[in-house]
Structure 1
């Protein structure tokens, strides 16, 4: 029982550490939406900006790519403890995505500012990263578990006696 718990914990903690690194990467490559400083606070300077959608896209690409990578590595590395590692991929993917969001929103690396057409003399500042499409939070765990399942299904089919139904030699 302790080996299964250890496999689960190692998987979750590894994905959490990758989530912190992914947050730094997301902060570095995602464009920031321009905000205009007014007397009432900051408002979106250019309502037609695509920077908010681009931040969601970069988040999905980074976490989805890590999901595929983690699912493949987990399947090849954990042949003895399939179920704990699979559950760890699911829980660790969600935790890693939330850590990516938290670190990426808190840390500003390479603030890429999108220009906005505003009144001359207005103060424009880059906004903090945020997700407008919260559904991308599950891309990491969904792709990790899905790819793990595809690899296991292909392996199971290759080893299955049903593959040669008429007693053909392997």
Structure 2
């Protein structure tokens, strides 16, 4: 920011540059970038779901006349499926926040946080649906056609998360489906708290001005020294000559 009037102190110029020289995007550009981040992060749910289905173990079941039952009384595979999903979701959220922070510097702030939160929820929902549908058609076919006593596997699914309808109408995600957004929001907030980006901190107070010569105010940065105390004349020492008397 150039073109300062003569006599404006360097410290005040630094404050002006800190306050007004930040790059700002027009609202339409911000909305477009937020939409792009939401869409891109939601699409990342596809590889996340494929990886989840690859790493999480399927649950062994046995066909009975009433349907499929667990092959073990207390299987650990459903718990492992939730655990793998939670770890992968948190990892994606953290990486997404770091990537957005460093790649889209001019989107830093509330707009970036909103994009990460909405996109994180979308990514988790997509990952959940993609992962649970891998092998689902085979499972349904075996469930309908397999003879009683045959063992097969049930695809991965979530027990600690999903979507429920509030008042029977509004779908609301809950549980570990929210972990992508949670990891992204926490990481992004920590990055903002440690950042030196001017717009992410409280507005600095301008320095106090005092009137100066030539119609240009000057800044006084030194402390005002207290007035020196008045000194009384010292008393005459012993043996000093007295002043002449009239």
TM-score normalized with structure 2 length: 0.57
How many correspondences in the alignment?
152
Per-residue CA distance 1:117-169 (angstroms, 9 max, x = gap): xxxx931111121111111111110010110110110014999799xxxx9xx
Per-residue CA distance 1:46-89 (angstroms, 9 max, x = gap): 12111010000000111110010001111112221222221110
Q: CA RMSD in A?
A: 2.4
1:145 aligns with 2:185: yes
| CA shift in 2, pair 1:160/1:22, >3 Å | closer
Instruction: Tell me if the contact between 1:26 and 1:59 (Cα under 8 Å) persists in the aligned partners.
Output: yes
Moved more, 89-98 or 124-133: 124-133
Instruction: Tell me if the contact between 1:7 and 1:84 (Cα under 8 Å) persists in the aligned partners.
Output: no
Larger Rg: 2
Q: In the aligned structure 2, how far is the partner of 1:49 from the partner of 1:124?
A: 14
Tell me: higher relative CO, structure 1 or 2? Use CA pairs within 8 A at least 6 residues apart.
1
- Ranges in structure 1 where 5+ consecutive residues have no aligned partner: 110-120
**What corresponds to 1:8 in structure 2?**
34
Of 73, 86, 90, the residue aligned with 2:99 is: 73
TM-score normalized with structure 1 length: 0.82
Q: In the aligned structure 2, how far is the partner of 1:47 from the partner of 1:97?
A: 30
Q: Show the 5 A alignment for 1:113-128.
A: 122-128=149-155
Q: In the aligned structure 2, how far is the partner of 1:79 from the partner of 1:42?
A: 52
